[in-house]
Every structure is written in structure tokens, then in C-alpha cells.
Amino acid sequence: MTHTYLHNPGCSTSRKGLELLESKGIKPDVRKYMNASEQLSVAELKDIAKKMGGVSPRAFLREKNAAEAGLAEDAGDEAVYAAMAENPKIIQRPILIKGSKAVLGRPIDLMLALA
């Protein structure tokens, strides 16, 4: 089963996470979700939340960038998903997906559970 790695090359944690996976022999399919051609849809974001155990999208929201993007603190899940799809900068990274599971790599060692 292949791994999909949601990656932002401009993020040092995301780069370190990819290096960690590769050092363990894992060669994931890398999706640079910040690129317009690889952005995540609302449906994909909902699927990630489901694969993380049915969490709220706030579990992988970059709170410090959310206000800058115009997302209200009390926004509901649907508004959060829409804001993430519109502005991928507010998605926390890295995220590793394997089959029916996904994990936020904060800290990056958490991703090894899906290795």
C-alpha cells in the first residue's frame, strides 16, 4: 500500500518529515498541496479528517494563519473546510496518508505509526 505525503517544500518541518520517511525506506507519493494544480478539495479534506479518526478540521488547521485568511474563531467545520480548500496555507503540515489512516506529522515521528 502506498503512502501519500501532503508536503509544503517551504516548510522546514515538512522537509524534515519527508527526509525521515525516506531514511526509513518509505518513498511516498508527494502531493505539493500548495500548488494550484494539487490543492485539496473540500471532499478530500473531509476524507483526511475521517482517516484521522473523525476529527474536526481544526485538528489540522494552522490557527496562526487562519485569522489572516479571514476565518472567524467560531467558524463551524463546513466553513473551516471551505477556507482550507480556498487557502491551503492554513492547512497544518505535514500529513501522511496510508489506506484508511492519516496522521499529522507534528512532531514528525508520529508519522512512523503509518510506516
Catalytic residue numbers, as ranges: 11
Residue 97 to residue 114: CA distance in whole angstroms: 8
**Strand ranges of the sheet holding 95-98, from the earlier edge strand across to the other edge:** 29-31, 3-6, 95-98, 101-104
Contact between 46 and 69 (Cβ < 8 Å): no
